[in-house]
Structure 1
């Protein structure tokens, strides 16, 4: 500490809670001038020093202090010593703080570490300010000077002596909403300030007057003379006013400040809990490090806040990140512009996700970009869906089938290239037309009932010929599918039209050839069997035996021809599912075969009221299995059992006999779709017909060995849905 002897000695009070700044003041200031430094951490302790010390030449104060701010402290000092040098330090520059400090007649307002020779400058400033104060301080009337200065500050200043108002500045008069300043002088403070606080104002003032404490500060709701209430921050200090003890109140309206704080709190909460990732990056730093990330960003990326603050957001990039997207964002940042990009990023665990990144600059009052705010949104599902939709669109557009959709007003929603080509429609005009405008009148009258049924959710299938001018008539397999929204509401109909003109022509040709061959085979085989019978009647011995073989083989061929006709008829005709009562169907089959084969014992075990939506030909398949089990059984007695079981999705029909079993080659043809050459008799063709019927019904056929050593054949067919009907027209 410098010696107090000598005119150069300067008593300086430093008020700061910043230990590093305090220590530097303690060492640097005395090294540049004859300055004695006293350090305190709070305004309360500073007031004690001011009251107790006879000599104080200068005050250096931080703006951010534990018990109040530097501006309020400055205003208290100015009420007592209006010309005392007072230097205010801040960590960061603020126009608002600077303006308030200047209004309160601060000697100097400085920003820490703003100059390399800061301490030399400060020491010189203190010496000059103290010298001026010593030389001219006595020339100024302290009371007049204080009142002039205090009228210029922003806060309300009230000087009390024995609890009564001795002085109040103009801002204080306005704050209380009094008619005039003079009307307040001499009044008890309790009659002027109606403070809503947990502690009474009189108790607080009593403590300060007794000097039990020299400083207090609290927030309160202040009821003004006009009945309005505002939020106030009140600082109470012990002081001297015109040479005698007094109490000074600094009353600050913090309503706007609290509103700003509330607004800031809400904004921070909104950012912290936003449903998309949010980041803030420091644009003044060349690497733009992150200074804030919200919770959703942590959840989206898998990185914690501690792992990413201070780092550039490029850590989300990886092997397949598109350099063009990165360059687009980099160029926008360099140009200080906003940008939105879709980029492939990587989470902490290495998984990929598509990130829609939006970057926007945050500008200071002067227009300079100080920060960038970023928004990150996981759009992986959207990207996948869009790609899938593009694939679907490409598949539909390039399909050879005619595909189109209309809404419930028959307005076209879309039509693919094949549909547009068939009806000579331009791409741009499709959605401007309705279905009745595109097809001819006769066609519309035919298809309108089908379209309307499809609107209520019924799938439709039918065949129809369509023609265009100067074009050959075409045959189409037409299917209507309901267009449904997420809530399963039908909003339109989609049609697929497959050109089956060539298929139908081939079927007609094959049918004609089949009829011709069957006719010729029947005629020729009848000639063979007739001659074989004549030979057998007129001869004996080996010749008669040979004639019998010829006759039997011809009969088998005729039987196969008849079976082939049945198979061809089934394959050439489309089938329509219908609701079938399984119990009635089985009873009907059993009754017919018992009549046809009275020596066979045929039983059935089928639950009643068993309904299935399937092909009616299933009855023919069941009859074929039962008859096959009877005809090809050389045991006595012949037994055949038919049973049925059901599940939520399928019905199972089982035919079990005590016969010799079905040959392996026939099972292979039926089960494995092997070459049909081994089917040399009508029984094999019958099983093949069964397989075709069950397959068309969407079911399966299985072969096993029964409990008695015979065959067990099981048919499994889907139960179907009640509305799963098709139409043929």
Structure 2
């Protein structure tokens, strides 16, 4: 490819006004330093010169052309926008590039390798451009089967840059599309293989027909793709609570998220408790187009909740009534018995009954505290002052001290936190055999959004087995008799905080670290 048939170098073009398409002829003489810069760029791209200033994400153009004036001028035209790499051998197609520009000789050498290169990066588009001279006047046979554009030389600089730019942009779009498709495939696989049921329905006025369900949904319900197009109400049955159905319908009609525990039916008629969460999906304009649903089997949890509910009722009602009956008869017998040993036996019966009554009250207190969902802000300072006064009135000889941040109401929304502090402070006085028990409650601000509450006393200390179960769990051999410490532990853990106990012969220190607004 001779220089007389290559890129235009007419110096007079530098003074021309731009053509209507905005292009100007390529011009070597009008900017004498540009060719040398392009050569340097090409050399640096090949050698990996660390002084290269272009960012790594600058598109690369491979010039598979014979050395000479044409290649220099093409490199000069493209060098300001792209990183230029040059080569003459077919092995160069193994390099990274965003567009390959070939002359006739280069095409003859690598024509068959172009298909291999395209196949290696499929489905991402990689463009090839063939430069042909005006003198030859012909395009090599089969060229259009391998290249994406054929540019006849001479060509104007702006036209060359624009045509190469269009192809590079196509490649960029292709890469982004491929990445998007791959991301969608990953998300689809994640949904298909998720351990919970996932459904997608379209938003329609009267119903929400199913358009997708994953394998988890089929395993959970027994229903699969055959139910596409139907509303998920096919999971409901005779014993499905009308109130729950109404809650779902109201939320969907209001286009807001909702979560319910609902009794559903599998394809074989088997009942199961389903934790169903539904959320609207909106388009760019904010209109709801679909609803996504998540389903998980909570049958075991619901049975356990019901069991605990019944056991709690028995413990808090039946047991209390029975213990009152035992205490009443013990009091009657005590008035008719003169034998001191028998009186002692009756005293033991009464004390044991009182202990069991205390356990029942403690269980009820824990249940009510942990079941509470009210996160209304609490002025901890005011409540702690009330607690101090109440303990003073019940235990006049006790010393109750408070250490609180100055001019700080210590507002928290931790459910049950005050109850936990109250439990720790009152037990510190109640279980202290000293004639003048001492307890101090300290509150301090930690890092932003966290507080620390410490309850320290000078009592006999908490037995090791009572604190060991907090870390190791309850067993038939190691268990806690004081439910109060479990109450504090559960309140703190529910808030995502930390609870520690330090106890020795000098007393006990309870530490509760919690976020103020969990």
TM-score class, shorter: 0.5 to 0.7
Checking the alignment, whether the CA contact within 8 Å between 1:341 and 1:356 is kept in structure 2 is no
- Mapped to 2, the partners of 1:412 and 1:283 lie a distance apart of 63
- Mapped to 2, the partners of 1:454 and 1:592 lie a distance apart of 49
Checking the alignment, whether the CA contact within 8 Å between 1:536 and 1:548 is kept in structure 2 is no
Give the drift of 1:631: 0.9
The residue matched to 1:259 in structure 2 has which SS?
A: coil
RMSD: 5.7
- Mapped to 1, the partners of 2:94 and 2:202 lie a distance apart of 49
- Mapped to 2, the partners of 1:528 and 1:496 lie a distance apart of 52
Q: Which residue of 2 aligns with 1:334?
A: 112
- 1:202-241 equivalences in 2 (<5 Å): none
Change (3 A) 1:551 1:96: closer
- Mapped to 1, the partners of 2:429 and 2:177 lie a distance apart of 62
Q: Which residue of 1 aligns with 2:106?
A: none
Q: Does 1:710 align with 2:507?
A: yes
Checking the alignment, whether the CA contact within 8 Å between 1:671 and 1:701 is kept in structure 2 is no
Q: Which residue of 1 aligns with 2:128?
A: 360
Out of 441, 448, 452, which is 1:648 matched to?
Answer: 448
Q: Does 1:625 align with 2:424?
A: yes
Q: Does 1:696 align with 2:491?
A: no
Change (3 A) 1:667 1:487: farther
Checking the alignment, whether the CA contact within 8 Å between 2:236 and 2:264 is kept in structure 1 is no
TM-score normalised to the size of structure 1? 0.46
- Mapped to 2, the partners of 1:584 and 1:489 lie a distance apart of 47
Gap runs ≥5 in structure 2 = 18-22, 43-53, 68-73, 97-109, 148-163
- Mapped to 1, the partners of 2:325 and 2:12 lie a distance apart of 124
Give the drift of 1:627: 1.2
The residue matched to 1:280 in structure 2 has which SS?
A: strand
Q: Does 1:447 align with 2:248?
A: yes
- Mapped to 2, the partners of 1:389 and 1:665 lie a distance apart of 54
Gap runs ≥5 in structure 1 = 1-90, 98-217, 223-228, 232-257, 285-290, 299-303, 318-331, 345-354, 722-729
The residue matched to 2:377 in structure 1 has which SS?
A: strand
Q: Does 1:397 align with 2:397?
A: no
Out of 284, 303, 307, which is 1:505 matched to?
Answer: 303
Change (3 A) 1:414 1:689: farther
Give the drift of 1:632: 1.4
- Mapped to 2, the partners of 1:283 and 1:427 lie a distance apart of 63
Q: Which residue of 1 aligns with 2:102?
A: none
Give the drift of 1:474: 5.2
CA deviations on 1:38-71 (whole Å, 9 max, x unpaired) are xxxxxxxxxxxxxxxxxxxxxxxxxxxxxxxxxx
Change (3 A) 1:422 1:549: closer
- Mapped to 2, the partners of 1:96 and 1:278 lie a distance apart of 19
Change (3 A) 1:460 1:442: closer
- Mapped to 1, the partners of 2:372 and 2:270 lie a distance apart of 24
The residue matched to 1:715 in structure 2 has which SS?
A: strand
Change (3 A) 1:409 1:523: closer
Checking the alignment, whether the CA contact within 8 Å between 1:612 and 1:719 is kept in structure 2 is yes
Q: Which residue of 1 aligns with 2:25?
A: 260
CA deviations on 1:225-276 (whole Å, 9 max, x unpaired) are xxxx979xxxxxxxxxxxxxxxxxxxxxxxxxx9331599999999998842
Checking the alignment, whether the CA contact within 8 Å between 1:336 and 1:361 is kept in structure 2 is no
Equivalent pairs counted in the alignment come to: 435
The residue matched to 1:496 in structure 2 has which SS?
A: strand
Checking the alignment, whether the CA contact within 8 Å between 1:638 and 1:659 is kept in structure 2 is yes
Q: Does 1:276 align with 2:59?
A: yes
The residue matched to 1:477 in structure 2 has which SS?
A: strand
The residue matched to 1:498 in structure 2 has which SS?
A: strand
Checking the alignment, whether the CA contact within 8 Å between 2:425 and 2:439 is kept in structure 1 is yes
- Mapped to 2, the partners of 1:260 and 1:382 lie a distance apart of 35
The residue matched to 1:312 in structure 2 has which SS?
A: helix
- 1:404-423 equivalences in 2 (<5 Å): 404=199, 415-417=212-214
After superposing the two structures, state which structure 1 stretch, 626-635 or 371-380, moved more. 371-380
Give the drift of 1:541: 4.7
Change (3 A) 1:594 1:466: farther
Q: Which residue of 1 aligns with 2:161?
A: none
Checking the alignment, whether the CA contact within 8 Å between 1:614 and 1:697 is kept in structure 2 is yes
Give the drift of 1:688: 0.8
CA deviations on 1:140-169 (whole Å, 9 max, x unpaired) are xxxxxxxxxxxxxxxxxxxxxxxxxxxxxx
Give the drift of 1:279: 1.7
Checking the alignment, whether the CA contact within 8 Å between 2:212 and 2:228 is kept in structure 1 is no
- Mapped to 1, the partners of 2:94 and 2:6 lie a distance apart of 38
- Mapped to 2, the partners of 1:565 and 1:230 lie a distance apart of 93
Q: Which residue of 1 aligns with 2:91?
A: 312
- 1:155-194 equivalences in 2 (<5 Å): none
- Mapped to 2, the partners of 1:482 and 1:611 lie a distance apart of 34
Q: Does 1:562 align with 2:327?
A: no
Checking the alignment, whether the CA contact within 8 Å between 1:341 and 1:358 is kept in structure 2 is no
Give the drift of 1:358: 1.3
Change (3 A) 1:93 1:379: closer
Q: Which residue of 2 aligns with 1:179?
A: none
Checking the alignment, whether the CA contact within 8 Å between 1:463 and 1:475 is kept in structure 2 is yes
After superposing the two structures, state which structure 1 stretch, 469-478 or 265-274, moved more. 265-274
Checking the alignment, whether the CA contact within 8 Å between 1:461 and 1:477 is kept in structure 2 is yes
- Mapped to 2, the partners of 1:620 and 1:413 lie a distance apart of 47
- Mapped to 1, the partners of 2:424 and 2:181 lie a distance apart of 51
After superposing the two structures, state which structure 1 stretch, 658-667 or 408-417, moved more. 408-417
- Mapped to 2, the partners of 1:475 and 1:493 lie a distance apart of 21
The residue matched to 1:720 in structure 2 has which SS?
A: coil
